[in-house]
Structure 1
Amino acid sequence: MKVRLGTAQIGLARYVGLWTIVAVVFAEQHYLQDDLSGHTWSIFDYLRWSLIQWYVWAALAPQVFRLAARFPIRPPVRLRGLGMQLPLSFGVTMLAQLIGAFFSIFTEESSLGEQLSQFIGQHFATGLLTYWALFAIQQAMYFHDEKTRREVEAGRLATELAQSRLQALKSQLQPHFLFNTLHAIATLLKEDALSAEDMLLRLSELLRAFLEDYDGQEISLRRELVLLDLYLGIQQMRFKDRLTTRIYVAPDTLDCAVPSLILQPIVENAIRHGIGERLGADCIEIESRRDGDTLRIEVRNRNSTLEKNGQAIGTRAGHGIGLSNTELRLRELYGDAAHVRLDIIWPEGVVCRIQLPFREIEEIDDAPEVVTA
């Protein structure tokens, strides 16, 4: 059985025990005061009187909490709340004295009027302070609950805002990718209609996978690589023998959580700034490995370089959606625990290095096996 005080609940035994401690403390205090004056009663008499007084307040405390909740005093102080609490405090305190006096006549040889007079004279001021102390406790609990509620609400709104940002960033990638792929297909139609038709079929399969798998912000690296393989198949149809790919994936990283569509825009940039704008062949390499609590992913191409400002040659202002989008998504998802940067590799080429917190994700794995090296 529990006693409800506002929004809090306390076990009955514990509740009675707390009020018993209060009664014992005040009984001892009254005994010591009388002892200093040279006239005392039995210690058990003091304890009996104190228990009657404070058990009455124990019974009235839940009602005081209800009155405090119904007629609160909120900043700025309203006359309505104060005007109700002042008479209520006197009324409840008077009721406590009346109840205490009533129970005392069963242990004392005196009338109800005499006991009531003694209770009012000895305990009314203390009772009034008790009412306002209970009122203050209820108000403090209310403000604490309100603060907690607002913090939870603020956290929920911040999470929703972050999810909205992430969804916007992710939604930005798909039209960008779709536009570039359709442009490549339109170009190929003039040169090789059969290859263009095969690219359209691969694109259809990839878009279907997007719709099925991209409900959340994170997927396993295993599934991300399967989707990337569909995209690379499209690009290999476009560039034929000029483009080769190599994937080096540590087996213990396949079930690690990564942002969905994290690799496709980076690989797209590597192709676009490599053989997409320069003569010759290119090799795209994707590597993943675990480093303690960190997942490291690298995307390398061998047919591009960096300008002094760290951008790939051929990158134009406003066209760096892949890398900038990836950077923003990592910041939203992982804060300072994730990084992405571009570096030059020897003898020629550019590597995009991604660092993520290592965390495995549970998925129903119906994707094909990824070949690791």
Structure 2
Amino acid sequence: MNSRLRFWLFYWGIWALFSVYMATMDFMRHAKEHFFDVLIPMNLLQNLIWGCAGLVVLAMARRWPLARLNWTNCRNWVIHLTGSVVISMVSLWFVWLLVIVFSPPEMQQKVLADPLSNYYGFFSMYFHINLLLMWAVLGAYHGARILGLSRKQELEAAQLQSRLAIAQNRALQMQLQPHFLFNTLNSIAALIHSDQEAADKMLTRLADLLRMTLDSGSANEISLRQEMAFTDTYLSIEAIRFQDRLTIQRDVPFDCMDALVPAFLLQPLVENAVKHGVANLARSATITIRAHHDDEWLILDVIDNGCGINGNSKRGIGTRNTATRLQLMYQNRHAFDMTNLPGGGAQVTVRIPWRTQPG
């Protein structure tokens, strides 16, 4: 149903209900009879007249909209004041004729004997009501117009806020990419003179990583499957660097793979675990990536058995960037926690709304 049809149904529906109400009041106060054969048709026709008069008022409101009373729009107020008086007088004259038509014969003869005097009495009794009715229509129109403009402004503000959040998120995402690239190139530079074969493998993996970054484009969200593939490629670079000292464990059920997550979410968290939790260990280390969900939330954990979280871990570009992006994308519907584990090591937990790719 289009908006124009809804307007006509609503507009004439209100007048029809008003007709039934007025007919009921006339029946209760005066007639006690002729409800369906006189009172209902008379009030329907009477409100048809007022409804048509109201349409003229609405047309004037669109042509000469009212605003705050000042010298600039004083003309519009004068037009509406004059127009409402004229419309009320004309419509009231038609209503008076209608009342005569539906009156008993003896009443008609009395009216026709002195029509001017009768019309003056009718006019004096109902003109102010008719005038108020026209201004009620005008007020309802402007109230609906103000409400519509307010909702439009709210929608535009929400859309602008959403576009701003997307732009900020993309800027943060682009900030992360050169960060991990710089760190990876540093690792390659450290190996290129001592282990050229390992450095060559790392360059190949880095090329794969850059290709995957380009393939994801500027998407704000990707599937967990894509994010895991990206993170696994990054970890394959770190595995070459640390060799047997780094073990990766994954506990990501298949039913979580289609979940939507922020692009570039896990890699900076894993990189943070490697840099601050594993790199300084003389012994072997384990990084665990875990995921599970319920009907409302997706929970992701990055766990390491390294040195634990210190001030540098929390202040790093990756963690600060991730926290900001999560706030931009989900506002308060998320959690981002970094905690030290009792037995040593650290755990980073991200909780975001559970959503999957359509189809």
Among 130, 133, 143, the alignment partner of 1:130 is 133
CA positional deviation for 1:112: 11
- CA–CA distance in structure 1, aligned partners of residues 267 and 308 of structure 2: 20
- CA–CA distance in structure 1, aligned partners of residues 2 and 346 of structure 2: 68
1:210-230 deviations in Å (ceiling 9; x for gaps): 222243322222221111111
Aligned to 2:77: 82
Aligned to 1:65: 58
- CA–CA distance in structure 2, aligned partners of residues 2 and 21 of structure 1: 27
Among 282, 286, 290, the alignment partner of 2:289 is 286
- CA–CA distance in structure 1, aligned partners of residues 114 and 323 of structure 2: 80
Aligned to 1:342: 338
Bigger helix share: 2
1:17-76 deviations in Å (ceiling 9; x for gaps): 2242254156447737xx9xxxxx987766666554332112222221121233233235
Aligned length: 348
Question: Letter of the aligned partner of 2:76 in structure 1?
Answer: G
- CA–CA distance in structure 2, aligned partners of residues 21 and 352 of structure 1: 67
Structure 1: stretches of 5+ with no match in the other structure: 36-40, 364-373
Q: 1:90 to 1:13 in 2, by over 3 A?
A: closer
Among 159, 173, 178, the alignment partner of 2:176 is 173
Q: Is the 8 Å Cα contact of residues 3 and 15 (structure 1) preserved in structure 2?
A: no
- CA–CA distance in structure 2, aligned partners of residues 184 and 194 of structure 1: 13
SS in 1 for 2:67: coil
Q: CA RMSD in A?
A: 3.4
- CA–CA distance in structure 2, aligned partners of residues 354 and 327 of structure 1: 9
The 5-angstrom pairing of residues 1-373 of structure 1 reads 8-10=7-9, 14=13, 17-25=16-24, 27-28=26-27, 31=30, 50-76=43-69, 78-101=73-96, 108=108, 110=112, 114=116, 117=120, 119-290=122-293, 293-307=296-310, 311=311, 315=312, 320-362=316-358
Identical amino acids, percent of aligned pairs: 29
Q: 1:58 to 1:293 in 2, by over 3 A?
A: closer
Aligned to 1:369: none
Q: 1:112 to 1:86 in 2, by over 3 A?
A: farther
Q: Is the 8 Å Cα contact of residues 333 and 353 (structure 2) preserved in structure 1?
A: yes
- CA–CA distance in structure 2, aligned partners of residues 71 and 139 of structure 1: 11
SS in 1 for 2:82: helix
Question: Letter of the aligned partner of 1:129 in structure 2?
Answer: L
SS in 2 for 1:216: coil
1:238-284 deviations in Å (ceiling 9; x for gaps): 22222221212223322222221111001111111134344343222
- CA–CA distance in structure 1, aligned partners of residues 34 and 23 of structure 2: 14
- CA–CA distance in structure 1, aligned partners of residues 309 and 55 of structure 2: 73
Question: Letter of the aligned partner of 1:168 in structure 2?
Answer: A
1:54-102 deviations in Å (ceiling 9; x for gaps): 3211222222112123323323554233212110111111221343456
Question: Letter of the aligned partner of 1:337 in structure 2?
Answer: R
- CA–CA distance in structure 2, aligned partners of residues 296 and 49 of structure 1: 68
Q: Is the 8 Å Cα contact of residues 217 and 259 (structure 1) preserved in structure 2?
A: yes
SS in 1 for 2:242: helix
Q: Is the 8 Å Cα contact of residues 313 and 319 (structure 2) preserved in structure 1?
A: no
CA positional deviation for 1:303: 2.7
1:287-307 deviations in Å (ceiling 9; x for gaps): 222356333222122232234
Q: 1:49 to 1:274 in 2, by over 3 A?
A: closer
1:284-337 deviations in Å (ceiling 9; x for gaps): 221222356333222122232234xxx3xxx279x5111122222222223333
CA positional deviation for 1:174: 1.1
CA positional deviation for 1:117: 4.8
Q: 1:99 to 1:210 in 2, by over 3 A?
A: same
Question: Letter of the aligned partner of 1:270 in structure 2?
Answer: A
Q: 1:112 to 1:221 in 2, by over 3 A?
A: farther
CA positional deviation for 1:170: 1.6
Question: Letter of the aligned partner of 2:345 in structure 1?
Answer: G
Question: Letter of the aligned partner of 1:24 in structure 2?
Answer: A
CA positional deviation for 1:129: 1.5
Q: Is the 8 Å Cα contact of residues 245 and 284 (structure 2) preserved in structure 1?
A: yes
SS in 2 for 1:219: strand
Q: Is the 8 Å Cα contact of residues 23 and 43 (structure 2) preserved in structure 1?
A: yes
- CA–CA distance in structure 2, aligned partners of residues 248 and 211 of structure 1: 27
Q: 1:113 to 1:48 in 2, by over 3 A?
A: farther
